[in-house]
Amino acid sequence: MADDEGGAMQRTSVPEADRIIGVRRPVLTHGFVALVDYMGNDAAIVQAARVSYGKGTKTVRDDRGLIRYLMRHRHTTPFEMVEYKFLIRLPIFVARQFIRHRMASTNEFSARYSIMSDEFEVPPPEEVRHQSTRNRQGRGEPLAADVVERFRSDLDRVSKDAYAAYTRALDAGVARETARLVLPVAYYTQWYWKTNLWNLFHFLSLRLDPHAQEEIRLYAAEMAAIGRLVCPIAFEAFEEFELGAVALGRREQRAVRALLEGKSPDEACATAGLPLTREDGKPMTSGEGVEFLEKLERMRRVE
């Protein structure tokens, strides 16, 4: 880190993070997350926030208070002073979810230049479930055991057949960039994924959420564990004010006011215009009113 008064510069070093550089933390059957490099730490966040005041930090207590203030008030730029570079091996269907986050520099393994490994993902039985009735892109209740095993068997067979076709195409002289087309999204790819801390927080806020697909949540959990080693105070603030927070819309705030005035949850929703029943009188299973009641239940469970 630079000396604000013109002294020698030294690279930030976090011993806990240095010890895991290059360590592959396993995820799923063939995947992993590894920290390749990082830049900055909690002190870099504080130094950036206090740049107009000259020399960086005061005490750890002061630093913690400042970082928590920055997080509460969403002053994002100081968090962007910290960067992470990961090496991630993951199934293609999970990679497609990662790439939706347009805030990382990514360099992926190229199947145009290299031959794909014969590694694919078959989800464990407990993760093969019904389509959710509430979430159009999620999983719901358990399936019958015979349905689960048939799907897993089919996936295994189709993947092996596809790789055999891929190998035959390569042996026959088909270009790698064309032969790869037969491989399903269950196959693995890998990439370098570099991002700053604030964008990592945004990624984690979405991909650690219970509504996110289970597979990407597992990758997010490992990335969070690594990120916390570099910036433990910032991650404490993130968990407190972002992951652990409950956002309330205007009508939801009106419903909370009605609760404080002694109304029941159903009455509060009616007062605030948060519907709980459909036009035919049946209870709603989704919608703003249902989500508000879920938020109330979440707040009741806070320890």
- pLDDT tens per residue across span 214-229: 999 999 999 999 999 9
* Cβ contacts of 195 within 8 Å, gap of 6 or more: 83, 84, 103, 104, 105, 203
Same domain, 98 and 28: yes
Same domain, 232 and 281: no
- Does this model's pTM top 0.85? yes
Same domain, 139 and 256: no
How much is the pLDDT for 4? 53
pLDDT digits (tens, 9 = 90+) for 158-177: 999 999 999 999 999 999 99
Q: Are 180 and 166 in contact (CB under 8 A)?
A: yes
pLDDT digits (tens, 9 = 90+) for 182-217: 999 999 999 999 999 999 999 999 999 988 999 999
Active site residues: 207
Radius of gyration of the chain (CA): 24
Same domain, 109 and 175: no
Average pLDDT in the chain:
92
Strand locations in the chain (E): 25-27, 31-39, 83-91, 105-108, 129-131, 139-142, 188-196
Same domain, 196 and 227: yes
The residue behind tokens 């055991």 is 145
- Answer with the one of 197, 222, 243 that is the final residue of a domain: 243
Q: Are 70 and 162 in contact (CB under 8 A)?
A: no
Overall number of domains in the chain: 3
